[in-house]
């Protein structure tokens, strides 16, 4: 009796947990609790799934087999295949080969099979099951498994050179390869297929990929006469100024040496452009550089000078801005001329650009701006009027120039309810929705990506509408982008977490549209987003920033809670607004790049028109970020029913020098507390 009572209590506890979880997910995704009401059968299946998943996760093979009836009882539950996969993992052996291979064949490349084939192949290799391994191998299984596959093939190959020919791609890696690859690498080398060029190619990859510790090891595979090349790669990577030490480059192998010199010159240019120019004066007359190397060197020097606004910038930009140059060279050529208001030169440069370049929205806007500055008003207005019909930063700026509100060009996505219902009934969609309900967002997105990739291109828009119907903001946004249907502004810029943004925004005197624009750009409203740098949640806050701004302890997991994340994010915006005199452009740039860095980008001694300053932000990421956030803010102001003069203000404003930055009065009382 006591055991029955304990089991009932455990069941009640799990039931309460799942119910609470579903309510949290409903709140997190902006879906009402009523919409998330589930049938008693589905609620019971969720309980059973959660319990079985836990048991299978730690089950012995015997225990996993004993759970078969319970697993089979859930065969009509959307997440049933995940339990089968766990059973397979727990009972993996040759006795279950048919079951494993049937599962992999039936559900080929579906999310719940990810990693399973690799685990099965590793099991087979470990137990010497060569025939089964070869039957189950597929391309793209990673270096360890691929090397094992090649080793098996080479054991019986009548024409080993065919298989040895596949080793080169594995060996030419900038990183260390697993020990399992050593036997095939040895055979490849013994067959005379490893050349000095291969070794030098791998040394180059190791130096460029950031794994220089591999270079000394590879050096010993070169003949003594070429080992100095490995030393040069290693030393120039550490100190690019060595390209000025001409004696270190004897030109015994000029093609290889010029690769190293090019790398060093590029790296030195970004650090000290003048020193790079000095080195360039020595090397260029020797005419040893290839065309691509000349383009790369000229680009690095020109952009480094232009970003720092050095006197030699224009000469080098003209030298770098030639056919074959990267797109950022043209951008900085125009940006440098804008900074110095050489309007006629801007016009000429854009006019000379290839058709596909000069029709880009940015160049059309600057063409109009140049015409306006030169007094050619009618031509400028004509360009502005055309551009003002487009929904992007430059279109919105053009609207301000003709004194009208930006055109959102909203067009609701046409609905095909029958198709949406059909997509919703697909197994991957049902699994995605179930994981979404359980709060397992990574698994849900994995299933959703599989679903979208399996659809015809004409159906992707309907999948986006389905995600929107579910209140799944981030996947609706991403899927609309994949569909190419970009005109449903309301669904692409959903009013997500409006209550939180409005309440906290009012407390800290931050317009909710501004905060929502930041969140839309940072995470597309993905509550569990994590950046490579460790920023978390809707507004992509670093844990240290949240602790600093809140002046207290902040659990890292709190940043994955929408309410907490919005609060800290809006507080941080208020902090930046006080630092940057409430200037939305500087605040946006600071949110992306850090306010101290933005301070260094401010004009030295005079105002710079806002659109020109934005165009000359040194970081491409921050430059595009600011443009996007300004456009998104306007869209959200419209979505929230607010009147907006944002772009009228931007078009008429200027960025002040640091000495002219006005600090709001409220900053004197502290930035952490609400108003």
Give the tokens for residue 630.
């300004």
pLDDT, averaged across the chain: 92
Are 482 and 502 found together in one domain?
no
Whether this model's pTM surpasses 0.85: yes
* 574 and 617 part of one domain: yes
Indicate whether 39 belongs to any domain.
yes
Mean pLDDT of 360-368: 97
At residue 414 the predicted structure's pLDDT band, cuts being 50, 70 and 90, is very high
At 210, the pLDDT band (50, 70, 90 cuts) reads confident
Q: Is residue 502 part of a domain?
A: yes
- pLDDT attached to residue 404: 93
pLDDT digit string (tens) for 258-271? Answer: 999 999 999 999 99
Which pLDDT tens digit goes with each residue over 118-172?
Answer: 999 999 999 999 999 999 999 999 999 999 999 999 999 999 999 999 999 999 9
Report how far residue 331's alpha carbon sits from residue 354's, in angstroms, rounded to the nearest whole number: 13
Please say if the pLDDT value at position 36 is more than 70.
no
Dist. CA 320–CA 276, nearest whole Å: 15
In the beta sheet, which residues pair with residue 655? 608
Determine the pLDDT at residue 670. Answer: 47
Q: What are the pLDDT digits (tens) for 368-385?
A: 999 999 999 999 999 999
pLDDT tens-digit readout, 224-263:
999 999 999 999 999 999 999 999 999 999 999 999 999 9
Asked if the structure places residue 16 within a domain, the reply is yes
Using the 3D structure, point to which of 161, 182, 211 is the last residue of a domain: 161
Domain check: are 435 and 503 in the same one? no
What does the alpha-carbon distance between residue 71 and residue 477 come to, in Å, rounded to a whole number?
36
Among 218, 221, 247, 224, smallest CA distance to 233 is for: 218
Range of the domain at 447: 417-486
Domain assignment of residue 353, yes or no: no
Q: Answer whether residue 345 is part of any domain.
A: no
Are 513 and 635 found together in one domain? yes
Is the domain of 506 the same as that of 630? yes
Looking at the fold, whether 423 and 572 belong to one and the same domain comes out as no
Tell me, yes or no, whether 177 lies in a domain. no
Question: Residue 431: which CATH number?
Answer: 1.10.1240
DSSP for 471-533?
A: T-HHHHHHHHHHHT----HHHHS--TTHHHHHHHHHHHT--HHHHHHHHHHHHTT-TT-B-TT
Place of tokens 């093979």: 61
Query: Which carries the bigger pLDDT value, residue 15 or residue 661?
Result: 661
- Identify the pLDDT of residue 552: 87
pLDDT digits (tens, 9 = 90+) for 42-98: 999 999 999 999 999 999 999 999 999 999 999 999 999 999 999 999 999 999 999
Share of the chain above pLDDT 70, in %: 93
Q: What is the pLDDT of residue 264?
A: 98
* CATH number assigned to the domain comprising residue 547: 1.10.530.10
Q: Residue 530's beta-bridge partner residues? A: 536
Q: Given this model, what pLDDT does residue 664 score?
A: 60
Residue 505 CB neighbour total at 10 angstroms:
21
471 vs 662, more confident: 471
Burial of 355 (0-12, 13-18, 19+ CB in 10 A): exposed
297-329 per-position pLDDT tens digit: 999 999 999 999 999 999 999 999 999 999 999
Which of 136, 161, 186 is the C-terminal boundary of a domain? Answer: 161
Tell whether 86 is covered by a domain.
Answer: yes
Assigned token pair, 181: 């690859």
Compute the half-sphere exposure of residue 600: CA atoms within 13 Å on the CB side of its CA: 8
Task: Identify the pLDDT of residue 556.
Answer: 86
- Domain co-membership, 105 together with 30: yes
Centre a 10 Å sphere on the Cβ of residue 673 and count the other Cβ atoms it contains: 12
Question: Where is the domain boundary, 456, 486, 516?
Answer: 486
The predicted model gives 190-196 an average pLDDT of: 96
Q: Residue 38: pLDDT band by 50, 70, 90 thresholds?
A: confident
98, 20: one domain = yes
578 and 474 in a common domain: no
Cα separation, 48 vs 55, whole angstroms: 11
Tell me phi and psi for residue 394, to 5 degrees: -70, -35
pLDDT above 70 (res 521):
yes
pLDDT tens digits along 321-347: 999 999 999 999 999 999 999 999 999
Write out pLDDT tens, residues 574-612.
999 999 999 999 999 999 999 999 999 999 889 999 999
pLDDT of 24 reads 44
Same-domain pairing of 454 and 522:
no
CA distance 444 to 434: 8
Reply yes or no on whether the pLDDT at 3 is more than 50.
no
Looking at residues 446-469, what average pLDDT do you find?
Answer: 97
Q: Which DSSP category does 226 fall into? A: G
pLDDT reading at 11 higher than 90: no
Q: Is 468 in the same domain as 532?
A: no
pLDDT band at 524 (very low <50, low <70, confident <90, very high): very high
Name the maximum alpha-carbon separation found in the chain: 94
pLDDT tops 60 at residue 30: no
Of 235, 243, 221, the C-alpha closest to 293 is: 243
Domains identified in the chain, total number: 3
Residues 560 and 460 in one domain: no
Is 526 contained in some domain?
A: yes
Q: Does the structure show a pLDDT above 90 at 423?
A: yes
State the Cα–Cα distance between residues 454 and 465, nearest whole angstrom: 16
């Amino acid at each position: 009796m006591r055991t029955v009572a304990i089991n009932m209590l455990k069941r009640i506890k799990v039931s309460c947990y799942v119910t609470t979880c579903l309510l949290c997910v409903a709140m997190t995704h902006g879906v009402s609790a009523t919409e998330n009401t589930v049938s008693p059968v589905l609620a019971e299946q969720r309980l059973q799934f959660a319990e079985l998943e836990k048991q299978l996760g730690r089950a012995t093979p015997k225990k996993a087999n004993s759970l078969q009836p319970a697993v089979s009882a859930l065969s009509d539950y959307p997440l049933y295949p995940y339990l089968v996969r766990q059973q397979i993992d727990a009972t993996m052996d040759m006795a279950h080969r048919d079951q494993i291979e049937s599962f992999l064949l039936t559900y080929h490349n579906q999310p719940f099979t990810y990693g399973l084939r690799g685990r099965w192949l590793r099991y087979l290799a470990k137990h010497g099951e060569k025939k089964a391994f070869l039957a189950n191998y597929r391309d793209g299984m990673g270096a360890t498994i691929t090397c094992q596959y090649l080793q098996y093939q080479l054991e019986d190959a009548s024409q080993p050179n065919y298989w040895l020919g596949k080793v080169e791609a594995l060996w030419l890696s900038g990183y260390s390869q697993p020990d399992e690859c050593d036997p095939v690498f040895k055979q490849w080398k013994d067959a005379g297929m490893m050349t000095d060029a291969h070794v030098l190619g791998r040394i180059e990859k190791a130096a460029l990929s950031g794994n220089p510790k591999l270079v000394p090891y590879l050096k010993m595979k070169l003949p003594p006469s070429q080992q100095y090349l490995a030393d040069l790669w290693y030393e120039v990577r550490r100190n690019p100024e060595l390209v000025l030490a001409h004696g270190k480059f004897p030109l015994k192998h000029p093609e290889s040496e010029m690769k190293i010199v090019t790398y060093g010159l590029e790296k030195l240019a970004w650090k000290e452009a003048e020193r790079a120019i000095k080195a360039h004066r020595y090397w260029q007359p020797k005419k040893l550089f290839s065309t691509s190397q000349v383009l790369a060197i000229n680009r690095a020097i020109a952009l480094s000078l232009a970003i720092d606004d050095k006197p030699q910038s224009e000469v080098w930009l003209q030298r770098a801005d030639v056919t074959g140059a990267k797109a950022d060279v043209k951008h900085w050529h125009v940006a440098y001329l804008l900074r110095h208001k050489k309007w006629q030169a801007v016009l000429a440069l854009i006019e000379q650009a290839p058709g596909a370049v000069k029709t880009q929205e940015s160049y059309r806007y600057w063409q109009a701006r140049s015409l306006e500055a030169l007094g050619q008003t009618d031509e400028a207005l004509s360009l502005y009027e055309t551009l003002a019909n487009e929904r992007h930063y430059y279109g919105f700026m053009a609207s301000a120039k003709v004194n009208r509100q930006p055109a959102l060009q909203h067009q609701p996505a046409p609905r095909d309810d029958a198709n949406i219902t059909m997509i919703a009934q697909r197994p991957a969609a049902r699994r995605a929705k179930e994981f979404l309900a359980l709060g397992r967002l990574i698994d849900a997105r994995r299933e959703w990506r599989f679903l979208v990739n399996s659809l015809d291109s004409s159906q992707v828009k309907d999948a986006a509408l389905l995600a929107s119907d579910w209140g799944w903001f981030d996947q609706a946004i991403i899927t609309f982008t994949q569909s190419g249907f970009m005109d449903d502004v309301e669904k692409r810029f959903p009013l997500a977490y409006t209550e939180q943004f409005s309440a906290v925004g009012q407390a800290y005197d931050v317009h909710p549209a501004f905060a929502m624009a930041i969140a839309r750009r940072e995470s597309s409203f993905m509550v569990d987003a994590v950046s490579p740098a460790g920023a978390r949640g809707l507004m992509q806050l670093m844990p240290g920033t949240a602790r600093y701004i809140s002046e207290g302890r902040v659990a890292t997991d709190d940043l994955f809670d929408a309410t907490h994340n919005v609060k800290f994010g809006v507080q941080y915006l208020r902090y930046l607004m006080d630092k940057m005199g409430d200037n939305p452009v500087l605040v946006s740039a600071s949110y992306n790049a850090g306010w101290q860095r933005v301070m260094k980008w401010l004009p030295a001694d005079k105002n710079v028109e806002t659109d020109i300053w934005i165009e000359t932000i040194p970081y491409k990421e921050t430059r595009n970020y600011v443009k996007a956030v300004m456009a998104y803010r306007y869209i959200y102001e419209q979505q929230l029913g607010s009147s907006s003069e944002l772009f009228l203000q931007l078009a008429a404003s200027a960025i002040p020098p640091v000495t002219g930055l006005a600090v709001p009065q409220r900053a004197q009382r502290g930035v952490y507390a609400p108003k």
